[in-house]
C-alpha cells in the first residue's frame, strides 16, 4: 500500500510540472516582437542595439581653423590637446610630425595616426580624435553685430542671427543670402531662416525698404 501511494504521488507531481511548463511556454509566445529593431538577447548591455550617429558628426570634413585633440589611450606623450589646423590644413604630432588633416573626417584622422604609431611605437594603438572648436562662420548686413562667430552643430540662419545680436529693425527676412565655403564658384545662394549654416559660410542679410 505504501509503495502504491508513492507511485500515485509521483504521477500527480509529474502532471503538475508539465502544466507549469506549458503555461510558461504560452506566456513566452504571447510576448510581441519589437517593431523596427531586431530582438536582442538579455545577455548584457553590449548586446543592445547601438543607435546610428547623426550623419553630420561622421562626415564633417576638417579644414583650416578647426581645433582638434588627438588622444592615444594610455600614452600621454603621444597625445596632444587642442591643436589648431594651420592655413595649409596640417597639425603637428609629437611622434609623427606634420600630418595633413585637410578634408579628413575625425575617423579618417584616427586611422592615419593609429597606422603611423603601429609597429614603431605601439603594438595596437587606440586613438581618438575629437573636434574641440569649429572654424567660424560669418554673418554681415542687417544684424546688430556683424562678424565671425564660432560654429555650432545644427546652426541655422535664425540661430546665426541670434549669435550676432539679432536682426536690425530694417532687416529683410526674405532677402537672405549665403555663400558656401565649399562652393568653388563662391556664388551667392538664396536662404531662409531655417537654412543650415556650416563653418566658413558667409551669410548676408539685406535691408528691407518697405
Closest of 177, 157, 180 to residue 167, by C-alpha: 157
Give the end of a domain, one of 102, 133, 164.
Answer: 133
Q: Are 72 and 96 in contact (CB under 8 A)?
A: no
pLDDT at 120: 85
- pLDDT score of 125: 94
106, 133, 160 - which closes a domain: 133
Q: Per-residue confidence at 58, pLDDT binned at 50, 70, 90?
A: low
Rounded to 5°, the CA angle 113-119-122 comes to: 70
* pLDDT for 8: 52
Q: Tell me the average pLDDT of the chain.
A: 79
Asked if residue 161 has pLDDT above 70, the reply is yes
Q: Would the pLDDT of 117 be above 80?
A: yes
Query: What is the rounded average pLDDT of the residues 88-105?
Result: 94
CATH of the domain at 188: 3.10.560.10
190 Cβ contact list (under 8 Å, min separation 6): 176, 177
pTM, 2 dp: 0.63
Strands (E), 86-201: 90-93, 97-100, 127-133, 136-141, 147-150, 171-179, 189-191
In the numeric block, which cell numbers belong to residue 4? 502504491
What ranges in the chain are assigned the alpha helix state H?
2-29, 55-59, 106-117, 157-163
User: Is 147 found in the same domain as 197?
Assistant: yes
Q: Is the pLDDT confidence value at 27 over 60?
A: no
The CATH number for 89's domain is 3.30.1950.10
Of the residues 133, 149, 168, the one at which a domain ends: 133
Domain that holds residue 100: 55-133
Q: How many domains does the chain have?
A: 2
Answer yes or no: do 140 and 125 share one domain: no
Does a structural domain hold residue 85?
Answer: yes
Inter-residue contact 152 to 141 (CB < 8 Å) = no
pLDDT band for 39, please (50, 70, 90 cuts). very low
Whole-angstrom Cα distance, residue 30 to residue 20? 16
Same structural domain, 87 and 122: yes
> For residue 68, is it within any domain?
yes
Amino acid at each position: 500500500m505504501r509503495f502504491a501511494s508513492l507511485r500515485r504521488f509521483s504521477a500527480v507531481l509529474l502532471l503538475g510540472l508539465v502544466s507549469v511548463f506549458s503555461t510558461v511556454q504560452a506566456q513566452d509566445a504571447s510576448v510581441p516582437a519589437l517593431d523596427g529593431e531586431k530582438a536582442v538577447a538579455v545577455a548584457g548591455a553590449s548586446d543592445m542595439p547601438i543607435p546610428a550617429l547623426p550623419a553630420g558628426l561622421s562626415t564633417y570634413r576638417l579644414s583650416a581653423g578647426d581645433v582638434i585633440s588627438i588622444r592615444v589611450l594610455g600614452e600621454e606623450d603621444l597625445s596632444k590637446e587642442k591643436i589648431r589646423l594651420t592655413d595649409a590644413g596640417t597639425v603637428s604630432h609629437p611622434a609623427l610630425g606634420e600630418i595633413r588633416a585637410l578634408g579628413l573626417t575625425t575617423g579618417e584622422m584616427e586611422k592615419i595616426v593609429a597606422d603611423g604609431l603601429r609597429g614603431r611605437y605601439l603594438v595596437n594603438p587606440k586613438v581618438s580624435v575629437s573636434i574641440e572648436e569649429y572654424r567660424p562662420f560669418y554673418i554681415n548686413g542687417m544684424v546688430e553685430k556683424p562678424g565671425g562667430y564660432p560654429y555650432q552643430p545644427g546652426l541655422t540662419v535664425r540661430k546665426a542671427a541670434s549669435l550676432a545680436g539679432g536682426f536690425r529693425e530694417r532687416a529683410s527676412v526674405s532677402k537672405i543670402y549665403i555663400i558656401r565655403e565649399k562652393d568653388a564658384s563662391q556664388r551667392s545662394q538664396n536662404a531662409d531662416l531655417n537654412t543650415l549654416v556650416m563653418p566658413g559660410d558667409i551669410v548676408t542679410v539685406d535691408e528691407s525698404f518697405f
